[in-house]
Amino acid sequence: MKHHRIVIALGGNALGNTLPEQMLAVKKTARTIVDLAEEGNEIIVTHGNGPQVGMINQAMIELSRVDDHQPNTPLSVCVAMSQAYIGYDLQNAIREELKNRHIDNKAVVTMVTQVRVDPDDPAFNHPSKPIGRYMSKEQADEAAALYGHLFKEVKGKGFRRIVASPRPLEIVELDAIRSLSASGNIVIACGGGGIPVTLNGNHLKGASAVIDKDLVSSLLAKQLQADTLIILTAVEKVAIHFGQPDETGLSDLTVDEAEAYCKAGEFGEGSMLPKVQAAIDFARSGSDRTALITLLEKAKEGINGHTGTRIHI
């Protein structure tokens, strides 16, 4: 069997929504990752941070309220915190699973990863990514006045902070990730889409934004010249007519077919659409590159061609 260089993008279902949930979820996630590593594949892992970065951000806001000496913590710093604490749980779970299988020639490392974005990206003028908890109008107005946050009302739920989601341009620690992976390590990188930064001379400045995890996973996979990008989500296959009586799961798509379904509005903007777009972006970058979208527990079957949705040229 051919050994692959695989970038695995973990969805929220692989991490849980709270710290106790995360500690349980990563054990199952680790088994899937080690299944693929055990077959000789080179593995690089990325992950989201949706609930985690929101909780950290809220905790830092509360700290600034009770301690006048504590300024509000920038969102970029909150992303860095989420990378470290998710990576801590994930790398320990993977290490334990490796040891349980007597695999002693692989180490696991988390790379705190910065991702450069364009300060003039139109996304900064049109924030759209929700983070954190829902608030009352009074709470949202107070946060807007104190911190300059922007909010959007969701009918029946309240107000939620929205931030920019610019496109990733450069993975700053790419060479370090490549070197660690080539040395036989399982590398966890680009957590939460990466810490968004802009470049001013040689200085990297944190940006108030959240980068899409699947888009940065595609960029990482392309630049590492990976064979396969696996996007793990909450469904076994991408489907058209989702949630309708004639829902149909898709097993094999060319990039042209996948793009046609995107243009037809078959995939939800906040859910499946960015995953399919990231898969298309990666698959289009080389005739020998395949993207796979499937369930966490089906990853090994998917890489062997038995399930999931495969997207290719």
Enzyme catalytic residues: 12-13, 129, 213, 275
Residue 310 CA to residue 24 CA, distance in Å, equals: 29
Residue 291 CA to residue 274 CA, distance in Å, equals: 13
Contact criterion met (CB below 8 Å) for 273 and 201: no
What long-range pairs does 54-61 form, CB within 8 A, spacing at least 24?
54/131, 54/132, 54/133, 55/132, 56/81, 56/82, 57/131, 57/132, 58/132, 58/133, 61/143, 61/147
Q: Which amino acid is at 115?
A: V
Residue 126 CA to residue 208 CA, distance in Å, equals: 13
